[in-house]
Amino acid sequence: MDQDSHCTAEKELMEGVSRITTFPTTSPSDEEENQPKVEMSHQLRKENPEKDDLKDSNATLSPNSSMTTKELQEYWRNEKSQCRQVKLLFEIPSTRIVEHHLSKYVMYKIIILQTGSFDSNKSVIERRYSDFEKLHRNLLEEFSEEMEDVTFPKKTLTGNFTEEIINERKLAFKDYLRLLYSMKYIRRSKKFIDFLTRPELQEAYGCLRGGQYTKALEILLEVIGLQERLTRGNPVSIVPTLCAIVVCHKDLENPASAFEYGEKALSRLHVHTSHRYYIPLLETMITLAYELGKDFLSLQEKLEEWKTKKDPVRVFTLKELAVREYVQ
């Protein structure tokens, strides 16, 4: 069951909870106190027979007959906030024509907005026709059935740079992205996410390898927000970007900011201690914590615990790992 269905089911369950709150709660007898719990168990089975199939990796409780009405309401309130899907809108407000020595093409400015948010949550990228064409070709290879009714604007022999054709393609690409995003398997796919983030990440890591940490950091901070919204179901996938931000802040002598992003990365790895970034990140965080006068003993304990469980192997530093990302 996907997140959208999960949230719909939880909405129905919350409505069931609200009906149950009509039971008296002041000085109940033992029999009355148990009644809401029995009723709730029955109501859950009646309204959502597939309840046992619902899964959320962030959930720490499970609805059962031992919960009071108040606890159950609080549980579903937390569940609802965890599973709420971030919905994105795609706008293509403008274009620009790029001319090189032997080539000429149109760049489409794509603004990606989170629904119900202000401009601070928008991301801006540029892609050309050939980028869209490559995405379409790649998606057809993996999602031929889902892509069966998806149309793609055809190339024309002439007139590609006329205002009329460019405006038509602006609308077509906007509808194209909207349609792709509406299909859960495609919006979660690496190919779709790479289309929206990979060129910027490649540029950022190129700057990082060249020692241009300020420029790299600027790009990474732009990309990380979009990555988070696109990969909410897979938080570990953004760890490399978070660690690259740590490296940039550290080399720019901003230890407090480096530590802040390091904590975000560690929180996503607490159950993934075999991840290639885990130990290099821990070692970096120990150094930063010592420099900032923070508690580093707990981090040191985690490092020692890992070493006792694993055979000694050569581990790259965090910076060595970062510069290896997106190497062609």
Q: Pick the residue with more confidence: 33 or 238?
A: 238
State the span(s) of the chain assigned CATH 3.30.1520.10.
Answer: 88-188
pLDDT of residue 62: 45
State the span(s) of the chain assigned CATH 1.25.40.10.
Answer: 197-324
Q: Which of 56, 39, 64 is nearest to 3 (CA)?
A: 56
Query: In angstroms, rounded to a whole number, what is the distance separating the alpha carbons of residues 165 and 30?
Result: 74
Query: In angstroms, rounded to a whole number, what is the distance separating the alpha carbons of residues 77 and 220?
Result: 33
Q: Pick the residue with more confidence: 53 or 108?
A: 108
pLDDT of residue 206: 97
pLDDT of residue 19: 43
Q: Could you read off the pLDDT of 237-271 as tens digits, one per residue? A: 999 999 999 999 999 999 999 999 999 999 999 88
- Architecture of the domain delimited by 88-188: 2-Layer Sandwich (3.30)
CATH of the domain spanning 197-324, picked from 3.40.50.1820, 1.25.40.10, 3.30.70.270, 1.10.3720.10: 1.25.40.10
Average pLDDT of the segment spanning 291-317? 86
Average pLDDT of the segment spanning 152-161? 83
Where does the chain have alpha helices with state H? 3-20, 30-47, 69-83, 129-142, 163-182, 184-187, 190-209, 213-230, 239-251, 255-267, 278-292, 297-309, 318-324
Q: How far is CA 6 from CA 11, 13, 59, 232, in A?
A: 9, 11, 13, 15
Q: Could you read off the pLDDT of 41-98 as tens digits, one per residue? A: 434 343 443 344 334 434 434 444 455 676 566 655 555 544 455 689 999 999 999 9
pLDDT of residue 43: 42
pLDDT of residue 66: 53
Q: Could you read off the pLDDT of 208-236 as tens digits, one per residue? A: 999 999 999 999 999 999 999 999 889 99
pLDDT of residue 49: 39
